[in-house]
Structure 1
Amino acid sequence: MNVRPLRLPDDVEALSHLDVISTADTVLNVATTATGFSFTETPVSVPSSKNHEFLADVTSADREWADGFVACDGANITGFAATGYSRWNRRQVLCHLYVDRAHRGRGIARGLIEHVLDLGRANGARQVWLETQNTNTPAVRAYQAMGFEIVGLDRTLYDGDAAHETALYLAKPLVSTSERR
């Protein structure tokens, strides 16, 4: 696997062929406690599937990210990550991370994340921050295996078909506690 910077508009066609449907057979149920929140991973009777429509954001002039990376297997693009730097809070934000379904479990997401972490360090970021859904337990598990921890949530972020989902925010520090001050 090779990871390289995204080339626009050249990579758009290849990105359009990525199968980025996520499927989960569990959800992280969120409960309010006296001191915060707790999470319980619960099986669902029918696995949930979500097609992550990201291509319009890749080609939009209004996108919130500045840097993109693609993972390649030879000439084929197998994954995509997009990130932006928020100067005011020194946060590198992971806006998109997708791996083609046929290529999952091969370290592609980890390779893309490493490039985002490196860019964050180069930018002087204190952390890499991202958002995913409580219905995407495979992603939450993968991020946690890469050293991210859940740092917050929002039960009101989504509407429409996703109104029942809770946004989970995860972060991975890039600097030590003493350097954060």
Structure 2
Amino acid sequence: MMLAFPSFKRHDLAQHLAQDPPGWESAYLAMRNDRGCGFAACILNSWNRRLCLLHLYVDSQMCGQGVGGVLLNTLLNAPESADAQHVWLETKVDNLPAIRAYESMGFRIVDLEQTLYGDCPSNDTALYMSRGLR
């Protein structure tokens, strides 16, 4: 599928950090020069040993410099991730920069869902990716 232009997600990091309860078990903030430049958070579903990557954001000025990979590796090597069999994430099907980055980190596309963002054909399509662990 060819897109006229790529899609980029924009998120307010302060809003995610202020969630009560946060909705994740582990979260990491990447810093450079005393400034946050990336954020990642996950939760482990023990019944299927799936580590769900809920958030992975990198400051647009830091994209392509390995921040996302460092955050992902930090999550995957954390003690709370030791029981995980695989890691699972979701992004929008038109978020090509994210899809390419995840593929470069060993993820593969495993599913699509057209109702995640609302049950309407004109809404965005969710793309799920997975990567085995250990």
The verdict on a shared fold, with TM-score over 0.5 as the criterion, is yes
**Residue number in structure 2 paired with 1:152:** 111
| Number of residues of Structure 1 aligned to a counterpart in Structure 2 | 133
Say if 1:138 and 1:119 are closer, same or farther in 2 by CA, change over 3 A: same
The one-letter amino acid paired with 1:129 is W
Q: Report the Cα offset of residue 56 of structure 1.
A: 2.8
Q: 1:88 aligns to what SS in structure 2?
A: coil
Q: 1:63 aligns to what SS in structure 2?
A: coil
Say if 1:122 and 1:167 are closer, same or farther in 2 by CA, change over 3 A: closer
Unaligned runs of 5+ in 2: none
Q: Which has the larger radius of gyration?
A: 1
Question: CA separation in 2, counterparts of 1:120 and 1:171?
Answer: 20
Which of the residues 43, 52, 56 maps onto 2:3?
43
Question: CA separation in 1, counterparts of 2:18 and 2:130?
Answer: 27
**Of Structure 1 and Structure 2, which has the larger fraction of its residues in strand?**
1
Q: Does 1:61 align with 2:20?
A: yes
Which of the residues 98, 117, 141 maps onto 2:100?
141
**Deviation above 6 Å: which 4+ runs of structure 1?**
none
**Residue number in structure 2 paired with 1:127:** 86
Return the TM-score normalized by structure 1.
0.66
Question: CA separation in 1, counterparts of 2:126 and 2:7?
Answer: 16
**Residue number in structure 2 paired with 1:13:** none
Return the TM-score normalized by structure 2.
0.87
Unaligned runs of 5+ in 1: 1-39, 176-181
Output the aligned Cα RMSD: 2.2
Q: Report the Cα offset of residue 164 of structure 1.
A: 2.3
